[in-house]
Amino acid sequence: MGETIRFGVSLDTSLLEKFDKLCEERCYKTRSEAIRDLIRKELVQMEWEDHNQEVTGTLTMVYNHHQSDLAQQMTEIQHQALDLVITSLHVHIDEHNCMEVLVLRGPARDVRSIAERLTATRGVKHGKLSLSTTGKGIS
């Protein structure tokens, strides 16, 4: 974690009141933690703007498991990018719908690309890539 540094922040009372309300609604225990989260959110967005930066992400897909060949096609695409896919999780939503969540890691450009390819597979109703981080340097 390294050393902790403390510095002062100035806010007008009316802005501070609104910020304190936000902290309360989201169950932040301290203002510092809320501010750290706002900073880290901004930093993670910047990581993804650099196409070569190593990132992590999760791809959430909902699909109809009656679609023939779909599972096999998705497996094939994943095997062509073994270095990007860390693991996957499967959830049965109802009689027709399944969810598959893949944890991805690699250069931002490659993670986006495999997510787009999987989402484009016929039978995948919805695919959404969530942009996360390896957490390196973001303490």
Rounded (5°) CA angle 132-91-69 = 100
Within 19-78, the residues that bind a copy of itself by CB under 8 A are 19, 22, 25-44, 46, 56-58, 60, 62-64, 66
**128 bridge partner residues:** 60
Cβ-based nearer residue to a copy of itself, 75 or 89: 89
Least gap, CB of 99 to a copy of itself (angstroms):
6
The one among 3, 52, 68, 79 contacting a copy of itself by CB under 8 A:
3
Coil/strand/helix, residue 2 = coil
80 counts as binding a copy of itself under rule CB under 8 A:
no
Residues 113-132 that bind a copy of itself (CB under 8 A): 116-117, 119-120, 122, 124-132
- Contacts (CB under 8 A) with a copy of itself, residues 94-113: 94, 96-97, 99, 101, 103, 105
Please report how close the Cβ of residue 83 comes to a copy of itself at its closest, in angstroms: 15
If binding means CB under 8 A, how many residues of this protein chain bind a copy of itself? 81
Question: Cα–Cα distance between 84 and 104 in angstroms, integer?
Answer: 5
Count other C-beta atoms under 10 Å from residue 15's C-beta: 10
| Count of other CB atoms within 10 angstroms of residue 60 | 17
Query: Is the Cβ of residue 107 or residue 119 nearer to a copy of itself in the bound state?
Result: 119
**Among candidates 80, 58, 62, 57, which has minimal Cα distance to 119?**
62
In this structure, what token pair is assigned to residue 60? 């959430």
